[in-house]
């Protein structure tokens, strides 16, 4: 808890910097407008103007927050939480693709990790490729997957989920292999003296001791899934989802809309990773593994 004060200090420094940057980046437009209207702006007028433009180069924090509130809370209060102008709707579209992809990707990743730990052939042939794939910008395949699946008639949720799935797949494989191998030789030997089979060793030793690694890779996988879903919404001219909000915002110069979509994505990521963190804490506590 003693780090709350420093964190607050850092966050408020960032907000201050942001307000300052908003003044300097938007002042040119404000000056031009003033010149056209033949008025001289005093400094306080200039600052007020740069913080309240309609299409600023950099919107001030309160503009982003009020736009966020307008497109989420206010719409929900009016009972229109799922109208097309609401970020809850767009967030839900992105979230559903993220979750589907996350479940597929981590599920397949865990299965492959189990296979790799138990079969030498799989270990030696697949593992180097799984590690190498971490250095490859696989996100580049995203537009191709969308278009190819579109051409064979698959649209909407599934292509985005596939992108999310393969982005979360490899980190989970690598993390889980490490986790399932984490029992020490002593522990494995002990189970052998109990004449425990492969099955019993897996359920009673390997799987429980891989839990910390599992949660770490789940967090990475979740963040990667969200990025995948957002990028998956970019190339098709999609009209729904947080990525689409950013894209249409950048087409029409609606900077406040881009920033609010970006913040919605950030909040979504933070909440999702936070939920996994909570599950992690309570699980590890009940298993007696937390420090």
Give the one residue of 234, 240, 283, 284 binding another protein; rule: CB under 8 A. Answer: 234
- Does position 15 interact with another protein (CB under 8 A)? The reply is no
CB 226, min distance to another protein, A: 6
CB 162, min distance to another protein, A: 14
> Which residues are CB-neighbours of 64 under 8 A, at least 6 positions away?
256, 259, 260, 263
- Does position 255 interact with another protein (CB under 8 A)? The reply is yes
Is the Cα torsion angle 222, 228, 231, 236 positive or negative in sign? negative
Site size for another protein (CB under 8 A): 59
> Which residues are CB-neighbours of 53 under 8 A, at least 6 positions away?
26, 29, 30, 59
> Which residues are CB-neighbours of 187 under 8 A, at least 6 positions away?
205, 209
205 to 224: interface string for another protein, x by CB under 8 A = --------------x---x-
Closer to another protein by CB, 207 or 248: give it: 248
CB 225, min distance to another protein, A: 10
Closer to another protein by CB, 234 or 284: give it: 234
Give the one residue of 144, 200, 271, 279 binding another protein; rule: CB under 8 A. Answer: 144
Closer to another protein by CB, 239 or 270: give it: 270
Residue among 21, 50, 128 nearest 42 (CA): 50
- Does position 126 interact with another protein (CB under 8 A)? The reply is yes
Contact set with another protein (CB under 8 A): 2-3, 5-11, 14, 57, 120-121, 123-129, 132, 134-137, 139-141, 143-144, 147-148, 151-152, 219, 223, 226-227, 230-231, 234-235, 242-243, 246-247, 249-250, 253, 255, 258-259, 261-262, 265-266, 269-270, 273
């Amino acid at each position: 808890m003693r780090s709350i004060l420093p964190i607050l200090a850092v966050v408020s420094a960032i907000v201050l910097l942001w307000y300052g940057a908003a003044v300097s980046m938007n002042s040119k437009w404000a000056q031009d407008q003033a010149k056209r209207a033949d008025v001289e702006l005093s400094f306080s007028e200039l600052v007020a103007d740069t913080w309240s433009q309609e299409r600023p180069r950099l919107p001030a924090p309160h503009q982003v927050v009020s736009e966020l509130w307008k497109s989420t809370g206010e719409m929900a209060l009016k009972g229109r939480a799922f109208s097309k102008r609401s970020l809850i709707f767009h967030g839900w579209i992105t979230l559903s693709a993220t979750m589907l992809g996350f479940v597929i990707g981590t599920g397949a990743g865990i299965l492959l990790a189990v296979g790799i730990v138990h079969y030498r052939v799989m270990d030696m042939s697949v593992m180097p490729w799984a590690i190498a794939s971490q250095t490859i910008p696989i996100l580049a395949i995203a537009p191709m997957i969308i278009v190819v699946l579109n051409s064979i008639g698959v649209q909407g949720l599934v292509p985005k989920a596939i992108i999310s799935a393969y982005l979360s797949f490899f980190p989970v494989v690598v993390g889980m292999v490490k986790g399932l191998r984490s029992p020490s030789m002593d522990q494995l030997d002990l189970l052998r003296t109990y004449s425990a089979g492969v099955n019993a060793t897996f359920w009673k030793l390997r799987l429980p001791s891989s839990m910390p690694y599992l949660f770490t890779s789940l967090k990475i996988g979740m963040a990667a899934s969200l990025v995948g879903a957002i990028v998956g919404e970019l190339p098709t001219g999609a009209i729904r989802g947080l990525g689409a909000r950013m894209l249409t915002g950048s087409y029409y110069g609606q900077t406040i809309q881009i920033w609010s979509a970006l913040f919605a994505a950030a909040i979504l990521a933070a909440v999702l990773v936070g939920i996994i963190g909570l599950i992690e804490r309570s699980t590890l506590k009940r298993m007696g593994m937390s420090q």
